[in-house]
A and B are shown apart, each in its own frame.
Chain A
Amino acid sequence: DAGVTQSPTHLIKTRGQQVTLRCSPISGHKSVSWYQQVLGQGPQFIFQYYEKEERGRGNFPDRFSARQFPNYSSELNVNALLLGDSALYLCASSSQRITDTQYFGPGTRLTVL
């Protein structure tokens, strides 16, 4: 079975631009979470979606938004990019229960110039 897939792998943007990152969960998984990993730090929780509804939001500005589609794939959007948004963006999927393990994708490396 395919794992969590993310696209694109790498992305370079300039300040002020907008970016959309995509994630496809493991088949059968209904929950998707997004994390931001700045170089040298652990991942930080951004959003969680389950059955197309937002279930949790981390301490990120409103420039960050996300959605989940009927096929459970997800997009993360970031508007008005700042240099500090440069990071590895990780998507994780899990089945549905609170205790279900999160499986991570390879991430999208975003560089903001």
Chain B
Amino acid sequence: AQSVTQPDIHITVSEGASLELRCNYSYGATPYLFWYVQSPGQGLQLLLKYFSGDTLVQGIKGFEAEFKRSQSSFNLRKPSVHWSDAAEYFCAVGAQEYGNKLVFGAGTILRVKS
């Protein structure tokens, strides 16, 4: 069965500092990988996705993520965090064998210090 682990429940970074949010997945075949962001009381907004090809994926708002098959990881990065990035971030995995069903991690809450 597919599973996603986000080891960090909370992360606090200073504004302007770099950010890395970790995501590890468990799945036997080639997964499709996603990062979504959720502001309080809101739905999910897609930041970026990986289906195939270049393992470094660029997304919106200056975010990027790197797929590392050997480590079963898909970590999200941003070189310089803005106060508006404070939100909850979810990593998700899908697979063709499971249709369009997404399996989400538990999320990482990002707090930005000014």
Contact = CB atoms under 8 A, between A and B. Distances in A.
Interface in A78-113: 90, 92, 94, 98-107, 109
Contacts of B107: 41-42
Interface in B7-50: 32, 34, 36, 41-46, 49
Given A90-B44, A106-B42, A42 B101 contact: no
A45 B102 contact: yes
Interface residues of B, number: 25
Interface in A8-61: 31, 33, 35, 40-45, 48, 55-56, 58
A43 B90 contact: yes
A58 B43 contact: no
B35 to A, nearest CB: 12
| A interface residue count range (under 10 / 10 to 19 / 20 to 34 / 35 or more) | 20 to 34
B53 interface: no
A41 to B, nearest CB: 6
Nearest to B96: A98
B83 interface: no
9 contacts: A35-B102, A43-B90, A43-B102, A43-B104, A56-B98, A100-B100, A104-B36, A106-B43, A107-B43
Interface of B: 4, 32, 34, 36, 41-46, 49, 51, 90, 92, 96, 98-107
Given A56-B101, A104-B44, A106-B42, 15 more contacts: A4-B43, A33-B101, A35-B102, A42-B92, A42-B104, A45-B101, A48-B100, A55-B100, A58-B101, A92-B102, A99-B96, A104-B36, A104-B43, A105-B43, A107-B43
